Amino acid sequence: MHGLMQDWPLVCSRIIDYAGRQFPAREVVDRSIEGPIRRTNYGQIRIRALKVAQGLAREGFKPGDRIGTLAWNSSRHLEAWYGIMGMGGVYHTLNPRLFPDQIAWIMNHAEDAALFADITFMPIVEKVAPLVKSLRKVIVLTDAAHMPETKLDNVVSYEEWLGGLDGDYTWYDSAEADASGMCYTSGTTGDPKGVVYSHRSNVLHALIAAQVDALGLGSREVVLPVVPMFHANAWSIAHSAPMVGSKLVMPGARMDGEAIYELLDTEKVTLSAAVPTVWLMLLQYLEETGKKLPHLRKVVIGGSACPRSMTQKFRDNYDVDVIHAWGMTEMSPLGSLGSLKPQMADLTGDALLDLKEKQGYAPFGVEMKITDDDNRELTWDGKTFGRLKVRGPAVAKAYYGGAGTDQFDDEGWFDTGDVAHIDADGYMQITDRAKDVIKSGGEWISTIDLENLAVGHPDVAEAAVIGVVHPKWDERPLLVIVRKPGREPSKEELLAYMEGKVAKWWMPDDVVFVEEIPHTATGKIQKITLREQFKDYRFPTA
Ligand code: AMP
């Protein structure tokens, strides 16, 4: 027997239609790339997205065409996304922090037909566009007055282009299984791999993300996604905020402490999301200026492990609740969030910080398990760690073009490449990337645990741990430290600080000081480069 409910495809145009009808005046504010703060609203964004769709269709772009975006978080970028999806196209976000050759490789692989780009990125576009054979048009997200000079053909300013359109357009009738968006993973080895979102996965993921115990969005919230739209859908916020009518505040090109503080303060932001590096800059700015955060209630921190000291500072100095989250481009991206279950509601002090150091539990729509190398499932005891595998309606089932098939199994489990343990309450903690875990005498040592600990020392700006060959133990941990400006902690001081806080056999065998630790385009520590840098290093005791 079939249910007798309506077929109402879960397509993304419904999100912006809903926002435009129920919350037309709800503001979307951004720091424009040209400089000033700009204000618009969901009603306007919907109309302009219709124009984008109309313009693309009129110029012969077809449903299924991949349309690149090389842009900061802004209202124009948001309009472009909904316009692209609304004509049946596939927004393809490009990470400007990659090298132009890598961007060209990715665009060629996806066969991008057009590109929306910010003025900041025109030097990249000049290099990349001639290398991408499929590219027919570049639309620069600015007005005629700010249009940069270019030698490229088929380039137009966004506002001039929109000016010739009336928005009298009916959204393309996409099926919910059709592709809506695309994002390549920043794999540290091999070629980048394309993740292809569907309308259905985007809508379901946004519904999941908005829940109280996930991001906790709602129409009275004011949300600042610092996390870029080019990094895994801005953690769903580009979809989930309009879906519930949250006011959106977008940082544009500036993510320094002062710029973020200004938006948090003047727009009365209640909720924000970003990687730890951004929060480090903000906390430093607040410490220097003595400013407070009276409106901010909650920050979601993920992308890399959130250090315990960060959670503590936000709580003790600014009365802001940290939600530690974990996810991946392949998961749309949210995979777990550290909200408190009822049995944890009364936790305080160190016990609360212990829990917040974990990456949290899976929301509805994400199934998780941990396995050993023979795919045997491991227990949820909060200690035993193994390969983390996931499945769900917003988790990838393949990469574009059939790459990376070994990461997917017949039962639909996706091997995340992360190593984790899960406790009896369902809270998961990432201990490493499978490639980074240190194998010492047949046992595993978590580099993330050691890094989190070291970075809690007041003189440490950043810490990384890598495994270095050892004649007796195979590998032993080497701690690499960037000191805070003007501070000179010694190796002995740092080791003494860590002593007793981790198992004795986990303690680093040595500490080295560097000016800088290399990072990937998404801000993660680039362990491959670091291991390469220290490949000739030998422990003094070995
Ligand atoms: P990306 O697809 O670029 O978002 O990278 C996903 C990877 O980032 C995951 O597989 C993890 O290795 C790492 N990651 C994301 N969030 C966290 C977190 N909260 N703690 C530790 N690692 C994280």
Strand partners, 334: 327
Atom 6 in ligand 1: which residue has the minimum CA distance?
Answer: 328
> Which residues lie closer than 8 Å to 77 by C-beta, 6 or more apart?
69, 71, 116, 118, 141, 229, 250
**337, two tokens:** 């969030």
Average pLDDT over residues 441-459: 90
pLDDT in tens, 483-539: 999 999 999 999 999 999 988 999 999 999 999 999 988 888 999 899 999 999 999
Average pLDDT over residues 78-102: 96
Of residues 214, 229, 255, 191, the one with CA closest to residue 68: 229
The best mutation among 183, 306, 326, 356 to test binding of ligand 1, ranked by most ligand atoms within 8 Å of the C-beta, falls on: 326
Q: Is 330 a catalytic residue?
A: yes
Question: Could you tell me the distance, in angstroms and rounded to a whole number, from the CA of residue 382 to the centre of ligand 1?
Answer: 19
pLDDT at site 189: 63
pLDDT at site 471: 87
Q: Is 27 a catalytic residue?
A: no
Question: Could you tell me the distance, in angstroms and rounded to a whole number, from the CA of residue 527 to the centre of ligand 1?
Answer: 14
Q: Is 444 a catalytic residue?
A: yes
Q: Is 369 a catalytic residue?
A: no
* DSSP character string of 11-22: -THHHHHHHHHH
Q: Return the CATH superfamily for domain 13-196.
A: ANL, N-terminal domain (3.40.50.12780)
CATH of 438-533, one of 3.30.360.10, 3.30.300.30, 3.30.460.80, 3.30.70.1230: 3.30.300.30
Q: Is the pLDDT of residue 542 over 80?
A: no
* Ligand 1 atom nearest to CA at 232: 4
Class of domain 367-433: mainly beta
> Which residues lie closer than 8 Å to 523 by C-beta, 6 or more apart?
275, 277, 303, 304
pLDDT at site 191: 86
Start-to-end CA span in the chain (Å): 70
Question: Could you tell me the distance, in angstroms and rounded to a whole number, from the CA of residue 432 to the centre of ligand 1?
Answer: 10
In the chain, where the domains are located = 13-196, 367-433, 438-533
DSSP 238: H
The best mutation among 301, 304, 368 to test binding of ligand 1, ranked by most ligand atoms within 8 Å of the C-beta, falls on: 304
| 210 three-state secondary structure | helix
* DSSP character string of 103-136: HHHHHHHHT--EEEE-GGGHHHHHHHGGG-TT--
